Amino acid sequence: MSLPPAIAALPARTAELGELLVRWANINSGSGHAAGLARMSAALRSEFGAAFPAATITELAADAPGFNPAGVTALSIRQRPSAPVQVMLCGHYDTVYEADDAFQQCRWLDQCTLNGPGVADMKGGLITLLAALQAFEQTPHAAQVGWEVLLTPDEETGSHGTVQLFQQAGAQHCFGFVFEPARPTGNIIHSRKGTGVFTATCHGRAAHAAKIPNDGRNAVLALAEFLLAIVKIPAELPDVMVNVGNIRGGTAATNVVPHFALAEIDVRITRLADRAPLLARLREQADRISAREGYRLELTGGFNRPPKECLPAEEVAFTEWQRAAADVGVAPFTWVHGAGASDGNFLTAGGLPNLDGLGPLGDALHSDRETCRVDTIAPRAQIVALFLHRVAKGEIKLPALPVRT
Ligand SMILES: [Zn+2]
């Protein structure tokens, strides 16, 4: 099988793409660092602007008071918005490493492996996306496919300022591509858990610890009892995760019965159908404590990203994805369930089928050991470009574009 020349030529760009990755990863763009995000956004704008002079680039406000720093923006880059097939390719340009983090610069561990902040999660993915579209634009049927690239500044903190952009994508596109890193094995993402964060606040009654009889109500102990009960929920609801992330309570003095305690809890679900029973069980345990005289246990918070459950259109696309991978010479891989959430969760919730984990191979994300296999950027970009070329040729059928009203 012969590849279109622009796609066949991608591996020759590996060194140049690696240099671009070093430049981008050396720009600190922690989700809370407004100036760094602005620098990164400007770098993206100039690179995508130069690569696609005919595209329309729009800056979209991504305000989310209490979550995002003021003034941060997402970039939407659109090419051929009236072509018969429309696809969305997306990635985030924020990282978990803030301006004061010790981890700021890249270094090569060997010829192919780059260690650096966000090299895999997901600046390496953004470069894969860019290189794939550059090659696709030179293929003969590209006019049949229009695309939107959505680059966002707040994925690592929950996408509070951009969630609606992902949820609306289902009304404008046929399919989505998410450039989170592939697993170290090369596997991509089949489905992801949905996430939620709850705060359990327990109120009791303060008293002198040595008073007899003692009318104190120990909030620390009651909260502990609640927490020990809720971590057993996954035994009844398989594929649900409950993690007690932190706890505080009491006062500096130990001779006081503490009247207050608080814990934050991370929960994850695999199926949307598990949301209601999980909530019911959390409330049931909270009510058990509140039913006691002198105690009140309040539960606040809620679910953020819904689970990304695998859709039928994704099964079809994944088979084609594997075929394209084989045709460009990438070693066989499969797709796996991920406990971490991504913006792919929001695309699914908005009705847009999508493939996720399409970036280069990455490891040790969210740590100063984060690495990207730079030699996998070009081959992964080849898969994307060949898949889109086959869509443009009519060889792969994506779901129809929703009727615009
Ligand atoms: Zn990510």
Cα–ligand 1 centroid distance for 54 (angstroms): 28
Euclidean distance between CA atoms 389 and 49, whole angstroms? 22
Cα–ligand 1 centroid distance for 366 (angstroms): 9
* CA 277, 278, 284, 287 torsion-angle sign: negative
User: Are residues 64 and 179 located together in one domain of the fold?
Assistant: yes
User: Are residues 58 and 126 located together in one domain of the fold?
Assistant: yes
According to the 3-state scheme, what is the secondary structure of 160-223?
CCCHHHHHHHHHCCCEEEECCCECCCCCEEEEECEEEEEEEEEECECEECCCCCCCCECHHHHH
User: Are residues 216 and 284 located together in one domain of the fold?
Assistant: yes
Euclidean distance between CA atoms 120 and 104, whole angstroms? 14
With tokens 């209490």, the residue in question is 66
Report CA-CA distances (Å) from 115 to 58, 97, 119.
Answer: 32, 13, 7
Task: Give the CATH number of the domain where residue 125 resides.
Answer: 3.40.630.10
Of 247, 274, 303, the residue that ends a domain is 303
Q: Is residue 325 part of a domain?
A: yes
User: Are residues 138 and 44 located together in one domain of the fold?
Assistant: yes
Q: Which residue range(s) make up the domain with 55?
A: 5-191+307-393
Cα–ligand 1 centroid distance for 326 (angstroms): 26
Of 303, 331, 357, the residue that ends a domain is 303
Burial category of 22 from C-beta neighbours within 10 Å (exposed 0-12, middle 13-18, buried 19 and up): middle
Q: Is residue 405 part of a domain?
A: no
Euclidean distance between CA atoms 300 and 287, whole angstroms? 13
pLDDT in tens, 246-261: 999 999 999 999 999 9
User: Are residues 355 and 250 located together in one domain of the fold?
Assistant: no
Cα–ligand 1 centroid distance for 180 (angstroms): 5
Confidence label for 214 from pLDDT (cuts 50, 70 and 90): confident
Cα–ligand 1 centroid distance for 169 (angstroms): 19
Q: Is residue 46 part of a domain?
A: yes
Q: Which of 331, 306, 303, 385 is nearest to 134 (CA)?
A: 385
- Check pLDDT > 60 for residue 405: no
Cα–ligand 1 centroid distance for 248 (angstroms): 30
With tokens 């008293």, the residue in question is 207
Cα–ligand 1 centroid distance for 318 (angstroms): 21
Cα–ligand 1 centroid distance for 142 (angstroms): 28
Cα–ligand 1 centroid distance for 94 (angstroms): 8
Cα–ligand 1 centroid distance for 188 (angstroms): 13
- Check pLDDT > 60 for residue 50: yes
User: Are residues 127 and 140 located together in one domain of the fold?
Assistant: yes
User: Are residues 228 and 109 located together in one domain of the fold?
Assistant: no
Euclidean distance between CA atoms 64 and 153, whole angstroms? 11
Confidence label for 1 from pLDDT (cuts 50, 70 and 90): confident
Cα–ligand 1 centroid distance for 181 (angstroms): 7
* 23 Cα distance to chain centroid: 22
User: Are residues 204 and 104 located together in one domain of the fold?
Assistant: no
Euclidean distance between CA atoms 96 and 158, whole angstroms? 12
Cα–ligand 1 centroid distance for 350 (angstroms): 19
Of 288, 303, 318, the residue that ends a domain is 303
Report CA-CA distances (Å) from 227 to 220, 230, 233, 236, 401.
Answer: 11, 5, 10, 16, 47
Cα–ligand 1 centroid distance for 273 (angstroms): 25
Cα–ligand 1 centroid distance for 29 (angstroms): 13
Dihedral angle over CA of 290, 291, 295, 300, nearest 10: 10
User: Are residues 27 and 70 located together in one domain of the fold?
Assistant: yes
Cα–ligand 1 centroid distance for 191 (angstroms): 15
Cα–ligand 1 centroid distance for 394 (angstroms): 31
- For residue 153, the SS3 value is coil
How many domains would you assign to the chain? 2
- Percent of the chain scored above 70 by pLDDT? 100
Cα–ligand 1 centroid distance for 367 (angstroms): 13
Task: Give the CATH number of the domain where residue 222 resides.
Answer: 3.30.70.360
Q: Is residue 151 part of a domain?
A: yes
Q: Is residue 400 part of a domain?
A: no
What is the rounded average pLDDT for all residues in the chain?
96
Cα–ligand 1 centroid distance for 207 (angstroms): 48
Average pLDDT over residues 174-180: 98
**∠ Cα 113 134 190 (to 5°):** 60
User: Are residues 52 and 145 located together in one domain of the fold?
Assistant: yes
User: Are residues 169 and 22 located together in one domain of the fold?
Assistant: yes
Confidence label for 404 from pLDDT (cuts 50, 70 and 90): low
Q: Which of 287, 253, 261, 248 is nearest to 204 (CA)?
A: 261
Cα–ligand 1 centroid distance for 300 (angstroms): 27
pLDDT in tens, 253-297: 999 999 999 999 999 999 999 999 999 999 999 999 999 999 999
- Percent of the chain scored above 90 by pLDDT? 96
Q: How many other CB atoms are found less than 10 A from the CB of residue 180?
A: 26
Q: Where are the alpha helices (DSSP H) in 231-274?
A: 233-236
Q: Is residue 403 part of a domain?
A: no
Euclidean distance between CA atoms 129 and 151, whole angstroms? 11
Q: Which of 41, 144, 130, 142 is nearest to 89 (CA)?
A: 130
Q: Is residue 278 part of a domain?
A: yes
Q: Is residue 398 part of a domain?
A: no
What's the whole-model pTM score?
0.90
User: Are residues 35 and 180 located together in one domain of the fold?
Assistant: yes
